[in-house]
Amino acid sequence: MTRRSILSLLPAGALAARAEQGERLRGRLRSAGAELIFEGPNGPVALSGDADSLRVMRDPRLRNDEFELNGHTPAAGRFSIDPIHTRAIFVWRKGRRLVVTYWCAVCAIRAWTPGKCQCCQEEMDLDPRDPSLKETDPSD
């Protein structure tokens, strides 16, 4: 491969690396109606994402929190949250960035979306936690 052809690959590689890193958006939920409207630093944007991510964003227990979302901007005025399995939804509480999780104290089961425990069927508690902890680490 010639030097010229190698150099021609660099811009594409740089763009691919940027796409893998994604974007972060910090702000507050303005409206949780049929369309989720998020107030970010550059004004309001409509949120989209997988069904589980949208369930987290609609959790009334998080209504007053400041969020940090990982995702990308598919078009002006829109932000798409990364899939729930990537741990893309955080809240800021007392100056700490915490990943949003849900916990069943009865069964010691952690989940990433609100709802009933898969074991005992009790409603799971909201449990934002330090993102450096493993799923099995006790809550801090």
Average pLDDT over the chain, rounded to whole?
85
Residue 113 has pLDDT above 50, yes or no: yes
CB-CB neighbours of 68 under 10 Å: 17
Residue boundaries of the structural domains of the chain: 22-126
CATH class, range 22-126: mainly beta
Tell me the pLDDT tens digit for each residue of 39-65: 999 899 999 999 999 999 999 999 999
Q: What is the pLDDT of residue 11?
A: 45
Residue 18 phi/psi, 5-degree rounding, is -65, -40
Least confident of 8-17, 23-32, 102-111: 8-17
Residue 17 has pLDDT above 70, yes or no: no
User: Which pTM was predicted?
Assistant: 0.79
